[in-house]
Amino acid sequence: MTTTYKSLALRGIGAGAIAGVASALVQLLVTEIPIRAALAVEEAREPAGEGHSHGGEEELVSRGAQVVGGMLGVIIVGIAVGLVFATAYALSKRWFVDRTPFSRSFTFGAAVFGAVALLPWIKYPANPPAVGDPETVNYRTALYLGVVVAGLVVVWGASWLAEQLKAQSQPIRVTAVLLAVVAAVAVVLVAFPAPPDTIPADMPVTVLWQFRLSSLAQLATLYVGLGVVFGLLIDPAARKTKVSEKTAIA
């Protein structure tokens, strides 16, 4: 064992904070643009004189405060995800032992992105404000979380299959795992029902897809960025420990 769990956890928290800040910046500089455009559409639906009051009630929190609060929330989520990421990495170090720590971390981050962001996005792409019936929010949330759980199961199954096929040549192992993943993803996409909400006619298509793509980019920054930063933090530590172990043995 090249590093302790405490060391991995601290690096996970640090990597999560860095990835969270980067994701928050994407939210501010990219995602916020279609959000404001969608809010303008929503405001245009309000009766004259009510503005953005949602039924005549005063807006309790300004848009600026919402943006700052949202960015802080993304950073906090990044820190929490970083700790979970480090824990999962520590538990899964027996897989892909022939790779460097950075390569394992990057692959792990990409796999998590695929499971908890890309797969749900394909089935239930994110919608901006002014889209979605408030009455179906719980149902939509349950569907989304269901796809996330299914995606994590697919990642775990792919890792397990790769471990079982480690005696095979790399082309056979990679092909088998890819085919299994494609088949599992197809089952998930077919098994889950279609999104329950329709897109309002007054929502511009450009705003809709700008929000969807920017939301996906924000998640990619968080999860893939976490894998990259964590890998950069853990790889030098692993090499340093290995050198120390060799010196001690000599």
Per-residue pLDDT of the chain (250 residues; tens, 9 = 90+): 446 888 899 999 999 999 999 999 999 999 999 999 988 888 887 664 444 444 444 567 787 888 899 999 999 999 999 999 999 888 876 666 667 888 889 988 999 999 999 999 999 998 888 787 778 888 989 999 999 999 999 988 988 888 888 888 888 888 999 999 999 999 999 999 998 888 888 889 999 999 999 999 999 999 999 999 999 998 875 555 554 544 444 4
CB 221 within 8 A of CB 26: yes
Q: Interior CA angle at 186 toward 181 and 190, to 5°?
A: 150
Going by C-alpha positions, the residue among 133, 172, 180, 135 that lies closest to residue 154 is 180
CA distance 62 to 28: 15
- Which DSSP string corresponds to 179-193? HHHHHHHHHHHHHSP
CB 85 within 8 A of CB 228: no
CB 188 within 8 A of CB 150: yes
Tokens of 204: 């511009």
Question: What is the reported pLDDT for 47?
Answer: 61
Question: What is the reported pLDDT for 250?
Answer: 45
Question: What is the reported pLDDT for 188?
Answer: 95
Q: DSSP class of residue 56?
A: T
CA distance 112 to 24: 19
Single-letter code of the amino acid located at 224: V
Question: What is the reported pLDDT for 239?
Answer: 55
Q: What are phi and psi of 207, to 5 degrees?
A: -65, -45
Q: How many residues does the chain have?
A: 250
Question: What is the reported pLDDT for 220?
Answer: 96
Question: What is the reported pLDDT for 96?
Answer: 60
Question: What is the reported pLDDT for 211?
Answer: 94
CB-CB neighbours of 83 under 10 Å: 17
Q: How many helices (H) and strands (E) does the chain have?
A: 8, 0
